[in-house]
Structure 1
Amino acid sequence: MAKGERRVARSLVRANELPSQPASTRLRSAKEPARSPRPVPDPLSTDKLKAAASAVRGALKRTARQQRTVTWDQLRGQLGSALPRICEADRRQLLLLVDSAGGPGEPLLSSVLAAADAHLAEAYRLSVIHHGGHLPVDDREMLREVIDADVQATHRYWYHR
């Protein structure tokens, strides 16, 4: 290879390198296969879903009594094996079960989750609709306001219970 060709080849290699990574890391990552995304868990049986909903409901009551909100990951950390990895459809069904177990006039406990975890706002919206409420699909700002108001109502409701 001539001098000019080597210079061009070096500049092309440098342009494709990430300067923040040491050369050994760049070489190693080029050899490693790409990681595949986590497989989607199989749907849970009705009995397992009900058991998980019961555990989640208890944890959400505790969270509401403490006047806090909680993310799904924090909830999984608290509950361990009582809350197995579940697909999105099962998560929505689980939150419907959690909210349906409440008595008349009881605020929806799923608001405590939806306030801390934006991914669960849609599941909360579906739960509201299932329980006779109405929230438009495309109005994120209104949904956030409703969630915030429902969290306050949930905190007030569970504070002394």
Structure 2
Amino acid sequence: MAGVANAVRGALRKTAREQRTISWNALHERTGHKLLPALSQAQKIQVLALVDQLTAAGEPLLSVLLTDGHSESLQLHRAVAQRLERTLPGDDLALADHLEAAIAELHRLWQHR
């Protein structure tokens, strides 16, 4: 999974510099990585945890840029944060607000990187 994580990390960094968010489908198109469409939820969590394991404690996770607008995305973000021992709000509305703020912070941080 390390190869997939490296491809995803690069694509998410580019997405952050572009001041955008990205879906799994667009991520697949951007990376061309053949394994992405076949990943299970558990594998997505594993990949995103690998992507963000080096993210500084005070910075938002790059994985927050993955947005599909579904409750599945919220569960995914919760699972990744839990694996990385990051704290998130408990309810979906508060989590959605938190993710929106994290996306804005990432865009600010990556604007000139």
Interval of TM-score (by shorter of Structure 1 and Structure 2): 0.7 to 0.9
DSSP-derived class of the 2:32 partner: helix
Amino acid at match of 1:132: R
Please point out which of 109, 131, 134 is paired with 2:85: 131
1:117 offset after TM fit, Å? 4.1
Where does 1:51-90 land on structure 2 (aligned, <5 Å)? 51-81=3-33, 83-84=35-36, 85-90=38-43
Assess if the C-alpha contact under 8 Å between 1:56 and 1:83 holds in 2. Answer: no
Q: Deviations over 1:10-48 (max 9, x none)?
A: xxxxxxxxxxxxxxxxxxxxxxxxxxxxxxxxxxxxxxx
The aligned counterpart of 2:62 is 109
* Length-normalised TM-score, structure 2: 0.86
> Which structure 2 residue ranges, 5 or more long, are not aligned?
none
Q: In the superposition, relative to structure 1, how do residues 140 and 91 fare at CA in structure 2: closer, same or farther (>3 Å)?
A: same
Write the deviation string for residues 122-158 of structure 1: whole angstroms up to 9, x where unpaired: 111222233331331xx11111101100000111111
How many corresponding residue pairs?
110
User: Residues 131 and 158 (structure 1 numbering): CA distance in 2 closer, same or farther, change over 3 Å?
Assistant: farther
Gaps of 5+ in 1: 1-48
Classify 1:83/1:155 alpha carbon distance in 2 versus 1 (closer, same or farther; 3 Å): farther
Q: Percent identity?
A: 35
